[in-house]
Amino acid sequence: MTVFGILTGYKNGHLPSLAGADWERNSFAMTPHLIIRGGRKLSGDIRIGGMKNAALPILFALLLVQDEVTLEELPPVTDIETTLQILCNAGAEMERLSPTAIRIHTKNADPDAVPLRLTTELRGSSYLLGAELGRFGRAVTGIPGGCNFGIRPLDQHFRLLRALGAAIEEENGLLCASAPKGLHGAQIRLDFPSVGATVNGILAATRATGTTVISNAAREPHIVDLANFLNACGAEISGAGTSTIRICGIPRLHGTRYRIAPDMIEAGTYLCAVCGTGGKLRLENVCPEHLGAILSPLRKMGAEINVSDQDLTLERTGTLYGTVLETAPYPGFPTDMQPQFAPLLCISRGGGRIYERVWKNRFQYADELCRMGGNIRLAGDFADFSGGDRLTGTTVRATDLRGGAAMLIAGLCAKGTTALYDIRHIERGYPDFAAKLTAIGADVCTAAEKSGAR
Ligand code: EPU
C-alpha cells in the first residue's frame, strides 16, 4: 500500500505531524520532497527565464538547421535537459556556454540514433515527427509522454502531416512517419487551434516544396517564438500569432544566434504566489503583452499591478477577492495557469469557479488541495470554490507540472508545514523555483537541505 493510499480519505489537512520529524524517519520520506513553511508575506525580485514551451519546439527545429546555432535563455529544467539528451544521442554536437546558453549544430544527426525510450518522457517529443520529416523524409518516435490529462490525441498532427504528403503509422508503441517523395505544401484547417499540431505543421512545412497555409492555427507566444527563430535562420513564415500561418518552403536554413522569449507561465505562477500570500513582487525579463489574460483576473482579485518597459510589479495588501475563470486558447486565459489560481480561490473572499475548456481532465490537483482544507466541488468541466477556506499544511503531492505549482502556492499560503512530494513534475518546467522563492522570503527547502542545515 502506498503512503498516499493510507492518507486517502483524510480531508481538510488534519495530519500536521506527517510533515514533521516522525514522518522523515519513514523511508518514503527519503524521496525528494519540498518542505514549505507557509504563512509568510513574500517580497522581492524574481528574474523570469526563457519559455519552456517555446524552447522545446525550437530545440527540435535545430534538426532542420545544419549550421551552428547559439541559443540563449534556455530554461534549465528537466524537459529541456531530456530534449538536449535526445538531440545529442541523435548526433547533435553541443557546447554549453552557460547554464542557460548553448552552441549546437545537427550536421551529423542520424534519425536512427534517436533514443526512443527518452522520447516517451515528454510531450514535446511529438515535434520529432515534423522536424525529422522535414530534414530526412522519415521519422520515428515513441508515443509522447508529458502531463497526464487523460487521453491526449495526435489526430490533428497526423491530419496536417498527411496533408503535406507523409504516411504515418502507429506500431508497437512507436509513431513511424515517412515521405519518400518529400513533403509538399498544402492548405489545411485545424479542427481546434492545437499548439502541438501547429508546431509540427510549421516544422514539416519549413523545408517542404511549395507553400503551406494552416488556418485555425494556435496563436500562442510559443508559436510566434518558433516562427521568429526559424525566420532568423532564413525561413519564410508569416502570420504567426494570428489564426492563419503561411509557410513558403525553402531548401536550406542557415545558423543564427537566438534569445528565447520570457516564460509567461513562470511569470504568472510567481504573480499568483505573491497575490496569494500578500506582499510585493517585481518581475524582470517579462513580456507584458503576453500576460494580459493573467493580469486581468489578478487585478479583479485585488492585486495592484504596474507595468513598465523593464519590469512588472504586483502588490497585494488588502482583501483577496474571488473570481470566475474560463480557460481558452491564446489570447484567452491559459489552461496552464488555472491550477495556480485554485489555491487563491480557496482562500479568497467569495470563492469562484474555474471552467476548463482545453483539457478534459485537469483538476487532479483538487484532491490534494482538499487535503489542505480546500472546499472544492468538481462538476464536469468546471470546479466550484466556496472561498474563505483556511489552508493548513500537510503531506501532499504534485500531480503534474502546473498542479505541482498549485500545491507549492497552496503551501506558501497555508498555516503550518507542508511536505510536497513528486516535485519532479515541478522540476520539468520551473528553473530554480526553490531558490527564486527563497529570495523573496519564502521558507522552502528540499528534505536534504532540511536534515542538513536546520
Ligand atoms: N487535441 C486533439 N488532437 C490533437 C491535438 C490536440 O484533440 O491532435 C486536443 C487536446 O486533447 C486538448 C487540446 O486539443 O484537448 C489542446 O491540445 P494542444 O495540442 O493545444 O496541446 P499540446 O500541444 O499537447 C501544449 C503545451 C501544454 C498546454 C497546451 C495548451 C507544450 C509542450 N505543451 O500542449 O502545456 O497546456 O499546449 O496550451 O507546449 C504545460 O506546460 O503544463 C502544458 C501542459
- Strand 257-259 to strand 376-379: parallel, antiparallel, or no bridges (unpaired)? unpaired
pLDDT of residue 81: 95
Nearest CA to ligand 1 atom 43: 336
Contact between residue 412 and residue 40 where contact means Cβ atoms under 8 Å apart: yes
3-state SS assignment for residue 63: helix
- Cβ neighbourhood burial of 22 (10 Å; 0-12, 13-18, 19+): exposed
Strand ranges, E, within 244-303: 244-248, 257-259, 279-284
Instruction: Kindly list the strands in the beta sheet with 93-98, ordered across the sheet, starting from the edge strand earlier in the chain.
Output: 93-98, 101-105, 69-72, 257-259
195 Cα to the center of ligand 1, angstroms: 6
- Cβ neighbourhood burial of 448 (10 Å; 0-12, 13-18, 19+): exposed
Report the C-alpha gap between 130 and 127 in whole angstroms: 6
Nearest CA to ligand 1 atom 35: 336
Q: In 19-154, where does DSSP find H-type helix?
A: 21-25, 52-61, 78-89, 116-119, 127-136
- Residue 131 has phi, psi (to 5 degrees) of -70, -45
Contact between residue 152 and residue 146 where contact means Cβ atoms under 8 Å apart: yes
Report the C-alpha gap between 298 and 341 in whole angstroms: 9
pLDDT of residue 172: 84
Please name which of 282, 336, 327 lies closest in space to residue 305, comparing C-alpha atoms: 282
Report the C-alpha gap between 154 and 132 in whole angstroms: 17
336 lines ligand 1 (CB under 6 A): yes
Please name which of 175, 189, 229 lies closest in space to residue 206, comparing C-alpha atoms: 229
- Strand 279-284 to strand 311-316: parallel, antiparallel, or no bridges (unpaired)? antiparallel
**Helix, strand and coil percent figures for the chain, each rounded to 5:** 40, 25, 35
User: What is the maximum alpha-carbon separation in the chain?
Assistant: 66
- Cβ neighbourhood burial of 123 (10 Å; 0-12, 13-18, 19+): middle
Specify the DSSP element, H or E, that contains 411.
helix 401-413
- Residue 63 has phi, psi (to 5 degrees) of -65, -20
150 lines ligand 1 (CB under 6 A): no
Contact between residue 3 and residue 26 where contact means Cβ atoms under 8 Å apart: yes
Q: In 150-258, where does DSSP find H-type helix?
A: 155-163, 195-206, 221-232
pLDDT of residue 30: 55
pLDDT of residue 232: 98
- pLDDT averages per 10-residue partition of the chain, 454 residues: 26 34 44 92 98 98 96 97 96 97 97 90 90 96 74 90 96 90 96 97 98 98 98 98 98 98 98 98 96 98 93 96 98 98 98 96 95 96 97 96 98 97 95 97 80 41
Nearest CA to ligand 1 atom 13: 358
pLDDT of residue 21: 37
20 lines ligand 1 (CB under 6 A): no
Q: Catalytic positions, please?
A: 147
Pocket probe mutation, ligand 1, options 188, 192, 356, 361, max atoms within 8 Å of Cβ: 192
What structural domains and CATH numbers belong to the chain?
Answer: 23-49+263-453 (3.65.10.10), 52-259 (3.65.10.10)
DSSP symbol at 321: B
Which grid coordinates belong to 112? 536512427
Report the C-alpha gap between 126 and 142 in whole angstroms: 8
Nearest CA to ligand 1 atom 15: 359
Report the C-alpha gap between 312 and 317 in whole angstroms: 17
Report the C-alpha gap between 35 and 277 in whole angstroms: 17
144 lines ligand 1 (CB under 6 A): no
pLDDT of residue 448: 59
pLDDT of residue 15: 31
98 Cα to the center of ligand 1, angstroms: 30
Which grid coordinates belong to 105? 549544430
Is pTM beyond 0.85? Reply is yes
